[in-house]
Structures are given as structure tokens and as C-alpha cells.
Amino acid sequence: MSTLTSTEISVPDETAPDAVPELVAAAVEAGRVWAATGREDRADVLDAVADALDAAGDELVPLAMAESHLPEGRLRGELTRTTFQLRLFGQALRDGGYLDVRVDHADPDWPMGAPRPDLRRTQVPLGPVVVFAAVNFPFAFSVAGGDTASALAAGCPVLLKAHPGHLRLSVATAEVVRRALAASGAPDDLFTLLVGVEAGRAALTDPGVQAGAFTGSTTGGRTLFDLANGRPVPIPFFGELGSVNPVFVTRAAAEARGPEIAAQAVASFTLGAGQFCTKPGVLLVPEGSSVLEVLRTTDLPGPAPMLSERMVEGHARVRHELEDVPGTEVLVGGPDTADGTPAPTVLLTDVATLLADVEALFRECFGPTLLVATYAAEDDLLSLAQTIDGQLTATVFGEDSDVPHLAGLVTTLATKAGRLLWNAWPTGVSVTDAQQHGGPYPATTAPSTTSVGTAAISRFLRPVAFQGFPEGLLPAELTDGATLPRRVDGVLLTDTTR
């Protein structure tokens, strides 16, 4: 397979907004066929898409490198993650537990005072989903990323609004996906690529679209969220918007592992030029800590290219605004390059200053900047945790001796973040069954859901109960002979209990 360069694929024209209704109508028809396709067959299709993407890696990765400025090793690892999650959703389909099937047989002696009817509950696809691709993960959160994979797994067609930061890659990836779908016998128009802001807005507001998914800025995500909710018939909108991802270091942990924590902090906040939604943005350390002294004397990495000029400008604006807050100073940082590519920077303040102006200081700075805040008493950690808004992650570095004293902090952080970490850094989001990548607003618009892991499929499903129906009219998973995990008359049946 020949390797393509970014110049061999032209930038696509924008999709005309007045063409969107026809594209959505075609997706609706494809969705009817796809929703009726068996779970095993849908899983086989996802596997085929994964295989096709793996086979096209030597074509796709150079395109991604040219458009994103990300290194080859990072992108090849991301492509592996992308195909892995497609196959993982295939496994979830074959297992069937995601349907949360519940069967209650008729019971004339039901103790509520009236007979219980025969009730059987399953989940059905919502319908067409418009997915807004992210810029910072050209594979894993883009054309064939987690939102696309989970929507297709749920039985929903996808209209993918390409991100302008990697349009050529989006065209190439979409072509791989479409060919794999066609070769696998999936219905035509199951997957559609849209280009342009107005086309995305038109799709999100089209009556045929039943859900939206987004990863990006708070401003852009909130605008789309309001559009989805402002429709005559509102639809769910699953937006991942922004996060500071605070890290709380106890005094005992700082004393035991200060230099190690400092080195790891640098590695985490500079990873990928700080362009991770889980990048630690605020680090809390005790006054006089060796963490602070090591950071003050450390040699930070040099400037690394960011995804786009827009990212460079946005980072510079927020970093300068943080620097200008009274009580904040630059602890360590080098000069930016002549073209504005930012040098990693560590800023310093204290918890009192931070608490006095949380809105100005506790904010996402998307790029290689970290704000360190010192505290005098560990009660300050709880005070900050109680003050902050919703986050994707919150991290605690502590020692075993801290455990009896941290219950209040951890309990509070659990109300603020979707994932809590103990002695680990938040960058790096494993794709697993138990993963939770979400959190209270403004981290996401749907805090009870996740965009990573197999539970992401639930976003694009809705429950339906069938009461008193004959078996011939029931979905296969609701019949008495079904073998997938399910709850029958209050008893959970699994492979070991059936």
C-alpha cells in the first residue's frame, strides 16, 4: 500500500447546509436497517473497520503527522488505541450485557397489592448521531474515534463533522471507514462525512438527528449544547468541554517523594505540548516543599509545536492572563520561539490567592503551562475542593499514613470529578470496561455518561419495556431462551448462574 502525503489529498469543499437534510434522511433509512442487524453481525462490521484502519496505517499516519505536527510514535499508538476500541465495542456487542436486559414474568401474587404483568426491558438505538470530531486526537477522538465507534455499536448511523485541523486526514480516514462498511455488507449511508461549521449546525438541528457528541472547547461545546436543547424536540448532547484536573499533594507525600512528584508533574503537563484534556493544570503542594524547589531549578523541555496557530494563540492569551493576576509569578519557564510556539511554563501562587479569585486562576490553559499553588494547612486542600467546579479528573498524592485523614477530601472530590486518581497522573485514559471519562459541568454536559470505555455505548441507547407481548414479537434478547447476561425475576443471570 503506497504512502500518501498531505498534498495528494485535496482539502474538501464544505458541505452545503441545504444538502444536509437529504444526507440525514439517508442516514435515517440506513439506521433502520442497522438497528435491525444482529449484535454479532454489527460486531463483525466493527472488527472489519478496525482491520481496515490498521491496514491503512502507513497511509494515514503521514497525513496525521503533516496536519497535526504530532510525532509518528504518538500517532501510531493512537491509531492502535482507535482500532482497539472498535474491537472492544465488538466484544461488548457479542456479550450483550450493555443492554441491561430485565425480565419480570407475570406474578398474580406480586406483593404490591396488584398482580404483576409480564414486563421485559431492553435498550434500543436512538437513531442518527452527529459527531463533532476533536482536534487533539486525530484518530482516537476523530473520524473513527470513540464517539463513532460507540454510536455504531449502539446501532446508530453517524454523521461525522470533520475538524478543520486535519481535513485531509479526515477525508482519507472516512474513505477507509466507508469502504470497510460497504465490504462488510453494512447499509449505505451508515457513515457520512460533513465538512464545515454550518453543515454541523444544520445536522445538529435537523429533525432526523437524535443525538450529538462533541469533544472540544467550552465555548464551542456550550453553543452546540444550547442548539440541541433549543430544538422544538430537544435531543441529548454529550459534550466534553474542558477541565483543569487538579492534583493535591499531601505534606507526607511531598516529604517522602518530593523530587519524584516534581519530575512526574513536568512529564505530565508537557506531554503532547500540554494538549490533553486530562493535562494537570493546577498542582497543590505544601509551603516549603521540595516539590517547589525541584521545579524551580528543573530544566523544562523546549518548545514543541502545537496543533494549530489557533491553539498557540489561545494558550498564549490564557497564560498571560494567569501571569497578570496579582499574587502570581513565573516560577520557571523559557522563551517562546520567534513564531510563538510556547515554552513550557510553571507559574506560582498560593491557595489564599487562588481561593480569592478562583474564576481567574482555576481555569484550563490548553497547552504546556502549569499553575502551582502552595498551602499552609491541609484543610486548605478541602477548601479548594469544595470551591472548584466540575472536572474530568482529580488526583491525590498521599502516603498510607494520610488515609485516615483524607476521607473528607476524597468524598468531596468524588462530587466534583468523573475519575479520581491515587498516586498517578491523569494524562493517559485507558480504554476499558470500567473507565469513566466525564464529569460535572463544565467538564461535560452529561455527567452521568462517559465518552471512553464500553459504557459509552449507553449514551446512544434508550430503554423500552414490552408488556404482555408474545415471544414472536419480542426482540431476541427478551425471549426466555436468550443467553446473554440479564436480570430475570430479580435474579442476575450470568454465564455462571444460567
In the chain, domain spans: 6-241+447-461, 247-422
Give me the tens of pLDDT residue by residue for the chain, a chain 498 residues long.
334 444 468 888 999 999 999 999 999 999 999 999 999 999 999 999 999 999 999 999 999 999 999 999 999 999 999 999 999 999 999 999 999 999 999 999 999 999 999 999 999 999 999 999 999 999 999 999 999 999 999 999 999 999 999 999 999 999 999 999 999 999 999 999 999 999 999 999 999 999 999 999 999 999 999 999 999 999 999 999 999 999 999 999 999 999 999 999 999 999 999 999 999 999 999 999 999 999 999 999 999 999 999 999 999 999 999 999 999 999 999 999 999 999 999 999 999 999 999 999 999 999 999 999 999 999 999 999 999 999 999 999 999 999 999 999 999 999 999 999 999 999 989 999 999 999 999 999 999 999 999 999 999 999 999 999 999 999 999 999 999 999 999 999 986 554
Tell me if residue 156 is catalytic: no
Catalytic residue, chosen from 240, 364, 378, 477, is 240
Tell me if residue 277 is catalytic: yes
| Of the options 3.30.70.360, 3.40.309.10, 3.30.450.30, 3.20.20.70, the CATH number for the domain spanning 247-422 | 3.40.309.10
SS3 annotation, the chain: CCCCCHHHCCCCCCCCHHHHHHHHHHHHHHHHHHHCCCHHHHHHHHHHHHHHHHHCHHHHHHHHHHHHCCCHHHHHHHHHHHHHHHHHHHHHHHHCHHHCEEEECCECCCCCCCCECCEEEEEEECCCEEEECCCCCCCCCCCCCHHHHHHHHHCCCEEEECCHHHHHHHHHHHHHHHHHHHHCCCCCCCEEEECCHHHHHHHHHCCCCCEEEEECCHHHHHHHHHHHHHCCCCCCEEEECCCCCCEEECHHHHHHHHHHHHHHHHHHHHHHHHCCCCCCCEEEEECCCHHHHHHHHCCCCCCCCCCCHHHHHHHHHHHHHHHCCCCCEEEEECCCCCCCCCCCEEEEEEHHHHHHCHHHHCCCCCCCEEEEEEECCCHHHHHHHHHCCCEEEEEEECCHHHHHHCHHHHHHHHCCEEEEEECCCCCCCCCCCCCCCCCCCCCECCCCCCCCCHHHHHHHEEEEEEECCCHHHCCHHHCCCCCCCEEECCEEECCCCC
Catalytic residue, chosen from 67, 277, 364, 477, is 277
pTM of the model: 0.95
**Comparing 6-241+447-461 with 247-422, is the CATH topology the same?**
no
Q: Which CATH topology does 6-241+447-461 take?
A: Aldehyde Dehydrogenase; Chain A, domain 1 (3.40.605)
